[in-house]
Each structure stands twice: as structure tokens, then as C-alpha cells.
Amino acid sequence: MIDDQLNPTTDSYCWYESPVGKLLCAGNDEAITHIAFPAGQGTKVSVNEKWRESTKPFRALAAQLDQYFDRELTTFDLPLAPVGTAFQQQVWQALIDIPYGRTVSYGSIANAIDNPKAVRAVGNANGRNPIPIIIPCHRVIGRDGTLTGFGGGLPTKNFLLELENRQQLCLPF
């Protein structure tokens, strides 16, 4: 659940070794603000010189990512504070509602937020998701079932979908 009442100031970071590469995790003692892939075309996040490296604020995140990659966790329960426009926040919340192991189209997300003509804008918001995996933008695919762009690259998107044993395509929700 995205909590827009949390302080989104990022002051800490750590690195998480994952099956898709070394992830940069950033946030503060209250919430996660970023996860960045090592490759791909997503929102670029790099360590800010004002941030301090610390694993303490990210212990729950690391534990849940471990469980997710071990196929033991299907729903994350972490405080999130992604910074974005009201529209982006609406899209990101809709992404959280996509069930584990399912995929939906950009049009389905547009319909879910009661803005069926905003398919392109949904795609843009999806691409600017600062907390991928936790906010599962990898579960959004083309309406014909094809994999479309992903900040971590299409091989990473495919890996995440295979990890979740993609069962059904383009289900409305």
C-alpha cells in the first residue's frame, strides 16, 4: 500500500543481490522510495552523496525480497513512499492490486482507474514506477499478450513473470 502521508525524503541506501542483478534500494527509516535495476531503461537512480549506506532501514525489504525470489511470498507488506504525480500514484496503486502470477494490459489498468482513454499515460506512469517488483509493473503486458518495455529490460521482466508462473494473460480486474 502506498502511503502518501509518509515522509518521502530519501536518506539511506543499500545494495541487494538478487537473481536479476544487484538492486539499489533507497528510502528512509519510514519507507522505501526506490528500487533500481542494474540494467535497462527505467528511471535512473544513483546513489546521492547525501545518502548514507545502511542495511538497517532495509531489513524487512531484503527479507521479503528473499522470500519473493524463493517463491514463498506473493504479496509484499512494506511501507512505500514513491514520489510522483497524483495520476502516477493512482496507476501505481492499481499495479499493486494486480494479483501475483497474473498479467493485465495497459488498457485494463486505464479502465481500473476509471480513465479508459489514458492507456498511453498509464504506460508512461508504469515506466516511471520508482519501486519495481514491489509495485509490480512487470505484470503489465501488451493487450495481445506480448512483453512490452520494462525498466529492468525484457529479460528481467520475463524472469519475474516466469518466477510467478504466469498463469493467465490479460485478465480484467
Which sequence positions are flagged as catalytic? 137
Residue of 107, 123, 127, 105 whose CA lies nearest to 115: 107
Query: What are the φ and ψ backbone dihedral angles of 53, each rounded to 5 degrees?
Result: -80, 125
Classify residue 33 as exposed, middle or buried by CB count within 10 Å of its CB (0-12, 13-18, 19+): buried
CA dihedral 37, 172, 99, 129 (to 10 degrees): 30
**CA–CA distances in Å: residue 20 to residues 24, 49, 160:** 12, 25, 9
Classify residue 59 as exposed, middle or buried by CB count within 10 Å of its CB (0-12, 13-18, 19+): exposed
